[in-house]
Structure 1
Amino acid sequence: MTKVSSTFLNQQVGLISEELRAWCSKEVIDSVFYNTAQHLTKVLAPLGKTADSYISDSTDFCEKLKTVENPGKIVSYDVVDLFTSVPINETLHILRNRLDNLDSPLDTKLSTDSILQLITNSITSTYFTWGDEIYEQIHGLPMGSPLSPILSEIYMTSFEHQALSSSLIKPTCWFRKVDDTFVILPQANDPSALLQHLNQQHPRIQFTFETESNSQLPFLDVLVSRTTDNTIQTSVYRHLCKWRDVTPSYILKCKVVCMVWFKKLEKGMNARDIVLFAANIPN
């Protein structure tokens, strides 16, 4: 059996890593812990909506942007390979603290110790096959697990609170959806300085950033624009797909993703869950 890190998954696989990621998702769905992970995800769901940066969808994002006055520099900060970079032990420690200090109890009879033990079992059984080889993912959260989005949200809520409270740069706004963060900075601030600060917080959590172009920056499916009178305007953003982007490797990726979807349908997943899963497949 070969143990593989996220670096191996992302850089050293002969085939493009997205296909392997999708295949890993299929293997997770076949895991004996999959149904347990689904149940725990529902139990922990309220903990994923408490961050000041939380946005539920594009409509919520647009509504919150209406409160921004005199916008400065528009920037997007993205976490590189979030799921496979989240430190598990630190996340479980953060989760225990959250569970021990709840304002209202979760909808479960499970004790904190039981929840953590079940989560540990679910996210550390990360074996999968690729060709004739058996692999084990040794870093981060398992790709395709229902628990990965909620656990990464719990970790990132703590991460960004610590990072922003210790930063000399104070964003005008900071809205995040999974690994993508929309930020507006005062004009006097350098986006790369905040990037450097973010990347110093944890060796495994690294960000990239993109600045506005022609006073515009897409985020989710929204195109955010600064008008001539320095106000924020939003419109629908459509990513243009070019035929040259449809390569043989992309077609292979689509085939693997379809196999994963069929597995989910066989297990009785509803349409909403399938859409949420699809949103976590890399582009």
Structure 2
Amino acid sequence: MVSFDIVSLYTPIPINMAMQAVRNELISDQELELRTKVPIEDIMLGLQLCLTSTVFKFQGKIYKQTKGFDMGSPISPVVADIFMHRWESMAIETFTPTPKVWWRYVDDTFTVLRTQDIDRFFEHIN
């Protein structure tokens, strides 16, 4: 058994990869049209605006965030979770032997691996 923690979850996620993960999730959602008439492209435009228009003030100066997501944005946890789900699924599927257990809550994971596979798995997911 081993636990992993993702350090600084929001800022290292590339926005373009996160956007693609969300697009894939929306495309695969067979009930999306029952819940909204908003086209996927319009959802994606709104999401892009939210993720790329982050500005903040620090010590009297205004800055534009250029990497990752804003930690204070309500959309950041949702997008990060979608991205992480797709990323971890790919990482688990491409590792042999497959972990016996993999649970993730936000940025903390619990997994069951053989002791001799832990370091190799850690390198694989990083």
Rounded to whole Å, the distance in 1 between the matches of 2:44 and 2:57 is 27
Deviation at 1:96, TM superposition (A): 1.3
Deviation at 1:150, TM superposition (A): 0.7
For 1:157, which of 62, 78, 85 is the aligned residue? Answer: 85
For 2:37, which of 109, 112, 115 is the aligned residue? Answer: 109
Residue pairs, 1:184-263, within 5 angstroms: 184-187=112-115, 189-199=116-126
Q: Deviations over 1:202-260 (max 9, x none)?
A: xxxxxxxxxxxxxxxxxxxxxxxxxxxxxxxxxxxxxxxxxxxxxxxxxxxxxxxxxxx
Normalised by the length of structure 2, the TM-score is 0.92
2:47 aligned residue? 119
| 2:15 is equivalent to residue 79 of structure 1 | no
Rounded to whole Å, the distance in 2 between the matches of 1:76 and 1:103 is 34
2:67 aligned residue? 139
Deviation at 1:186, TM superposition (A): 3.0
1:167 aligned residue? 95
User: Alignment length, in residue pairs?
Assistant: 125
Q: Say if 1:172 and 1:186, in contact at 8 Å, map to a contact too.
A: no
Rounded to whole Å, the distance in 1 between the matches of 2:98 and 2:70 is 33
**Local SS of the residue matching 1:94:** helix
Rounded to whole Å, the distance in 1 between the matches of 2:43 and 2:64 is 23
Residue pairs, 1:23-62, within 5 angstroms: none
Identity %, equivalent residues = 36
> Bigger relative contact order, structure 1 or 2, given CA contacts below 8 A and separation 6+?
2
1:88 aligned residue? 15
Rounded to whole Å, the distance in 2 between the matches of 1:142 and 1:102 is 26
1:276 aligned residue? none
Q: Deviations over 1:135-180 (max 9, x none)?
A: 1111111111111111001101110111111112321100000111
Rounded to whole Å, the distance in 1 between the matches of 2:108 and 2:84 is 11
Q: Indicate the RMSD between aligned Cα atoms, in angstroms.
A: 1.3
Structure 2 unaligned runs (5+)?
none
**Local SS of the residue matching 2:32:** coil
Normalised by the length of structure 1, the TM-score is 0.42
Structure 1 unaligned runs (5+)?
1-73, 200-283
Rounded to whole Å, the distance in 1 between the matches of 2:30 and 2:103 is 24
Rounded to whole Å, the distance in 2 between the matches of 1:100 and 1:184 is 32
Rounded to whole Å, the distance in 2 between the matches of 1:166 and 1:77 is 18
Deviation at 1:99, TM superposition (A): 1.3
Deviation at 1:194, TM superposition (A): 0.7
Rounded to whole Å, the distance in 1 between the matches of 2:28 and 2:103 is 25
Deviation at 1:190, TM superposition (A): 2.8
